[in-house]
Amino acid sequence: MTNLSELAAGLDEAARTATAVPQLTDTYPNLSVADAYAIQTLSVARRWARGERRAGYKMGLTSRAKMQQMGVAEVIWGRLTDAMRLEEGGEMSHARYTHPRVEPEIAYIMRKPLSGNVSLAEALDAVEAIAPAMEIIDSRYKNFKFALADVIADNSSSSGFYLGAWANPSTDVANLGIVMELNGRPVQIGSTAAILGNPIRSLVSAARLVGSVGESLQPGDIVLAGGATAAHALSPGDFVRTSFQNLGAVSFNVTA
Ligand code: OOG
Ligand code: MG
């Protein structure tokens, strides 16, 4: 098998140049989840080498809506870098992505380290604040199609994220209504409860999953809990606004 660094370099280059590539599993149908995470680590290492900095982690496929949309029924995770953070209310340039989509999320920022098997109470106690968020996902694979190992190797489609105003960690976000609008028209309606029944469960899973590879959530890390609804494709000229019950709204414009 080609070595994992070559596969990592290919995916990193695809992301950097916004060019779609064939799925790794087309060539390596038996690519394991462990190898896929190793490719992810190597690919993100190329970002660290270019000067990008750690911003935290993202959880993926934590809702049935997302699992069904993507045809992958397993919770996954990826790394966030500072270069992925976009300015709330600002613009995103469509040309920098291959086929970007947007999805509504809940974000946590950590005040304490968290890793391994933790309770819901321990997870919540490690949270500094909670914010409404939107994630920009952009698969590096043609037609946004992938198997489990492909998407993991591709840093779980991580590409960008917008954060709204931080709220007190005691804010109850177990079941808050969400309306995502595209150009003033509602395109996704849902609830934060779609995220594993309660987004805090996603933080518990994040601690366990990153712990399983010897990492931990660190103070200052942002953790995206996963899309609460299916993702929506973006086109230049779009204005996206998502309102979250009790948490406020997050918006941005898509430019060419
Ligand atoms: C994989 C990433 C999934 C989420 O929130 O469920 C994800 C994808 O759908 O491309 O970010
Ligand atoms: Mg997501």
Element (DSSP H or E) covering residue 162: strand 158-163
Ligand 2 centre distance from Cα of residue 156 (Å):
8
Report how far residue 202's alpha carbon sits from residue 185's, in angstroms, rounded to the nearest whole number.
Answer: 29
Ligand 1 centre distance from Cα of residue 246 (Å):
24
What is the residue-wise DSSP string for 60-124?
ES-SHHHHHHHT--S-EEEEEEGGGB--TTSEEEGGGSSS-EEEEEEEEEESS-B-SS--HHHHH
Provide the 10 A C-beta neighbour count for residue 56. Answer: 24
Report how far residue 117's alpha carbon sits from residue 119's, in angstroms, rounded to the nearest whole number.
Answer: 7
Residue of the CA atom closest to atom 11 of ligand 1: 60
Report how far residue 78's alpha carbon sits from residue 30's, in angstroms, rounded to the nearest whole number.
Answer: 21
pLDDT of res. 229? 98
The amino acid at residue 45 is: A
Residue of the CA atom closest to atom 8 of ligand 1: 157
Ligand 2 centre distance from Cα of residue 154 (Å):
13
Note the residue count of the chain. 256
Structure tokens at 223: 């953790």
Beta bridge partners of 75: none
pLDDT of res. 1? 54
- Nearest ligand by distance to the CA of 135: 2
Parallel, antiparallel, or unpaired for β 222-224 and 54-60? parallel
- Nearest ligand by distance to the CA of 156: 1
Q: How many domains does the chain have?
A: 1
Report how far residue 102's alpha carbon sits from residue 81's, in angstroms, rounded to the nearest whole number.
Answer: 18
Residue of the CA atom closest to atom 10 of ligand 1: 157
Atom of ligand 1 nearest to the CA of 231: 9
Angle between helices 33-49 and 4-17 (to 10 degrees): 60
pLDDT in tens, the chain (256 residues): 579 999 999 999 999 999 999 999 999 999 999 999 999 999 999 999 999 999 999 999 999 999 999 999 999 999 999 999 999 999 999 999 999 999 999 999 999 999 999 999 999 999 999 999 999 999 999 999 999 999 999 999 999 999 999 999 999 999 999 999 999 999 999 999 999 999 999 999 999 999 999 999 999 999 999 999 999 999 999 999 999 999 999 999 999 9
Domain range for 234 is 4-255
Atom of ligand 1 nearest to the CA of 103: 5
Q: Are 224 and 195 in contact (CB under 8 A)?
A: no
Ligand 1 centre distance from Cα of residue 40 (Å):
15
What CATH number is associated with residue 103? 3.90.850.10
- Nearest ligand by distance to the CA of 62: 1
SS3 at position 147: coil
Ligand 1 centre distance from Cα of residue 147 (Å):
12
